[in-house]
Amino acid sequence: MNELQEPAPSADQAPSDAALRPRYTRNNPYNSTVLVNRLLSGEGSEKETRHFAFSLEEGITYTPGDAVGVVPENRAEVVDEVLYTLGFTGYERVLDHYKNEISFAEALRTWLAIGKLARGTVSQYAKLPAAAGVGGRGPEALQRLSGPENKLLADEYCWGREFIDLITDFPGAIGNPQELFSVLPRLAPRLYSIASSQAVHPDTVELTVRVVRYSTHGRTRLGVASGQMGERAHVGAVLPIFLHSNQNFRLPEDSSAPAIMIGPGTGIAPFRAFLEERRAKHDTGKNWLVFGDQHHATDFLYEELWSEMQADGTLTRLDTAFSRDQASKIYVQDRLRENAEELYAWLERGAYFYVCGDAIRMAKDVEQALLDAVAKASNGSLDHAAEYLAAMKQQKRYRRDIY
């Protein structure tokens, strides 16, 4: 899960529950202590994936399927670079979104999104009074990046860039630090699917996080929240967090119902929570997990746990798809097509179908594979499969946590 709007209270949360526990939010987060920061990916992996455990005070509760909101801070090095490029000291006084007076350095560290560049930021920057006299690439080039008619050009410019790139390419538009509050969006919390069951870990909440690192346009980039967790959330450090309810991603109410879980990469996180919960509560429903990543040797997250769960009967079936361990890439959707008859048999027995991970490609590919599998195994058409899937959605047996 990713950036967040302020969550609304759960519709089915009883008033007595709310009265019993503090309501931590993005504006009133819980200062949690980092208890575990462990590298999951193996040496040689192209990804840096970590397992975290955070302390919880008594009364803070969550349900498998929920998420943790992490309230991040921008890196000090990036803040210093922005200050230097803008020509300010950081001691200047500004008003935050709630009209509280703070230093400009604090605003850049905790309030303003100076990471990934958005088209709206470029447009607002171009509207500033001093934008007509910017240096670097010049005011004409800046104006060509603003306005709805230049959306494609602006998107191309923004890709892989951050705010520091904009003020380096077009310096001189900011005359007053307060102007940045009309240019930059607020620094938003990031949501991460919970990877633990409180029935097993009563005083902690656990996450599976990929630390985002990449290089573009001559600069090394680091994800705002994932980078903070990977580099600065050492054991013993304090990180502001809050719980975010996700009522649409829950285990079946019927503990005997089968569950099919598709979770490539860090999409495995909520299914670790689901399986821990079902094992702790001795649920009788069968569980089928489909996990995919690049390489078995370096990217098989929680492999030992899955082996234990297979041995004790919690995990009925495990299929893996390591895309780069052979000449032809294999993905989780390929495993669904290969096992169409078995998949359809599980669905016919009332199985719930869960998907967690990338919304842009993976989730769409998995849905198409599901339709193909249903059509093949039922000797029906894709139209029949679409009707079958629509019925599953109506029964709330098809659930997705995608981002």
Question: In this predicted structure, which of 16-30, 32-46, 125-139 has the lowest mean pLDDT?
Answer: 16-30
Is residue 295 classed exposed, middle or buried when 0-12, 13-18 and 19+ CB atoms within 10 A define those classes?
middle
Position 86 scores a pLDDT of: 98
| Percentage above 70 pLDDT, the chain | 95
Q: How confident is the model at residue 1 (pLDDT cuts 50, 70, 90)?
A: low
Per residue in 156-195, pLDDT (tens digit) is 999 999 999 999 999 999 999 999 999 999 999 999 999 9
* Residue 108 clears pLDDT 70, i.e. is over it: yes
* Residue 341 clears pLDDT 90, i.e. is over it: yes
Q: Edge-to-edge, what's the strand order for the sheet holding 317-322?
A: 317-322, 287-293, 259-262, 352-357, 398-402
* Residue 17 clears pLDDT 80, i.e. is over it: no
Domain 259-402 has CATH 3.40.50.1970: no
Domain boundaries, the chain: 15-72+189-244, 76-183, 259-402
* Residue 382 clears pLDDT 80, i.e. is over it: yes
Per residue in 66-76, pLDDT (tens digit) is 999 999 999 99
Position 34 scores a pLDDT of: 98
| Percentage above 90 pLDDT, the chain | 93
Residue 186, classed as helix, strand or coil, is strand
- Give the angle subtended at the CA of 389 by the CAs of 256 and 272, to the nearest 5°: 45
For the segment 220-237, the average pLDDT, to the nearest whole number, is 97
Residue 93, classed as helix, strand or coil, is strand
Position 13 scores a pLDDT of: 40
Give which of 268, 244, 281, 223 is closest to 73, Cα–Cα. 223
Provide the mean pLDDT of the chain.
94
CATH topology of domain 15-72+189-244: Elongation Factor Tu (Ef-tu); domain 3 (2.40.30)
Longest dimension (CA), the chain: 71
Per residue in 258-303, pLDDT (tens digit) is 999 999 999 999 999 999 999 999 999 999 999 999 999 999 999 9
* Residue 16 clears pLDDT 70, i.e. is over it: no
Q: How confident is the model at residue 399 (pLDDT cuts 50, 70, 90)?
A: very high
The residue with tokens 């959306």 is 151
* Residue 383 clears pLDDT 90, i.e. is over it: yes
Give the CATH number of domain 76-183; options: 3.40.30.10, 1.20.990.10, 3.90.1150.10, 3.40.630.190.
1.20.990.10
* Residue 12 clears pLDDT 60, i.e. is over it: no
Position 8 scores a pLDDT of: 37
